[in-house]
């Protein structure tokens, strides 16, 4: 049986450019605060909040609330589960690019 097309391994949780960019920003394992993420991703508070909530519900990021001085802050960090899922998503994207989406292309030759 032929190997499945790599697009079938893409994770729909990263279909949103904001969620994809959010996970990429968190790849180094750092915990970033909401304002820093909004600045890095160049996105409004509402869109970022929705993206964080979505990824939190899937278990791909964790959040921590606290205060700096008297101001409330939210920090976000990717989870091990999120890092694995994002890595698999990136691998599938790479395979699509490298093989043109045809898993057996390197074996079949270019004809």
**pLDDT of 104 strictly over 70:** no
| pLDDT tier for residue 109 given thresholds of 50, 70 and 90 | low
Residue 47 lies in a domain: yes
Number of domains in the chain: 1
Instruction: Find the mean pLDDT for residues 40-54.
Output: 98
DSSP states along 11-63: -GGG-SHHHHHHHHHTTT---EEHHHHHHHHT--HHHHHHHHHHHHHHTSEEE
- At 65 the three-state DSSP class reads strand
Residue 94 lies in a domain: yes
**pLDDT of 4 strictly over 90:** no
Domain of 55, in residue numbers: 10-101
Residue 66 lies in a domain: yes
**pLDDT of 102 strictly over 80:** no
Q: Which residue has the higher pLDDT, 101 or 83?
A: 83
For the whole model, what pTM was predicted? Answer: 0.84
**pLDDT of 107 strictly over 80:** no
Residue 10 structure tokens: 């893409």
Q: Indicate which CATH number applies to the domain containing 64.
A: 1.10.10.10
Tell me, what's the pLDDT at 105? 54
Which pLDDT tens digit goes with each residue over 56-81? 999 999 999 988 888 899 999 999 99
Residue 1 lies in a domain: no
Q: Which residue has the higher pLDDT, 108 or 70?
A: 70
Residue 109 lies in a domain: no
Residue 16 lies in a domain: yes
φ and ψ of 73, to 5 deg: -140, 155
Residue 59 lies in a domain: yes
């Amino acid at each position: 049986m032929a190997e499945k097309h790599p697009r079938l391994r893409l994770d729909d949780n990263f279909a949103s450019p904001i969620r994809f960019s959010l996970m990429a920003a968190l790849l180094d394992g750092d915990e970033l605060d909401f304002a820093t993420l909004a600045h890095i991703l160049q996105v409004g508070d509402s869109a970022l909040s929705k993206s964080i909530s979505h990824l939190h519900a899937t278990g791909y990021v964790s959040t921590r609330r606290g205060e700096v001085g008297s101001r409330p802050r939210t920090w976000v960090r990717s989870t091990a589960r999120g890092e694995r899922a994002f890595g698999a998503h990136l691998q599938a994207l790479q395979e699509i690019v490298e093989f043109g989406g045809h898993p057996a292309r390197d074996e079949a030759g270019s004809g």
